[in-house]
Amino acid sequence: MYEPYVPFEPQIGSTPAADEKSTIGTESGDPTIKIESGKTQMHRAVDDLKSTARATADAYGGKAEEALGEGRERAARSKKRSNKKFARNQSKQS
């Protein structure tokens, strides 16, 4: 009725022979391969970051140019009003 408890032990691949070193669950033992893999991952991450930064800059760059244009227009209108007011005051004083 009840089966005895047997702990789960996954068997991946064949069991290494007595004179073999087990490599189950490990990556390459060569450190240069690990370094090259890390460099590749780093370069991919940098490229992803650059493309995201460009997209963000493009999105906000248009808004910044628009705001700058509006600011220049407001400054020009304000200067024009100030000049008219100054001219009126000068004509009253004469």
Q: pLDDT (tens digit, 9 = 90+) per residue, 43-71?
A: 888 999 999 999 888 888 888 889 999 99
State the pLDDT confidence band at 22, using cuts at 50, 70 and 90.
low
The residue-averaged pLDDT of 26-35 equals 63
CA distance 5 to 2: 9
pTM attached to this predicted model: 0.39
CA distance 54 to 88: 50
CA distances from 88 to 30, 44, 75, 77, 94 (A): 85, 65, 20, 17, 10
State the pLDDT confidence band at 8, using cuts at 50, 70 and 90.
low
Position 94 scores a pLDDT of 65
Alpha helices in the chain (DSSP H): 31-93
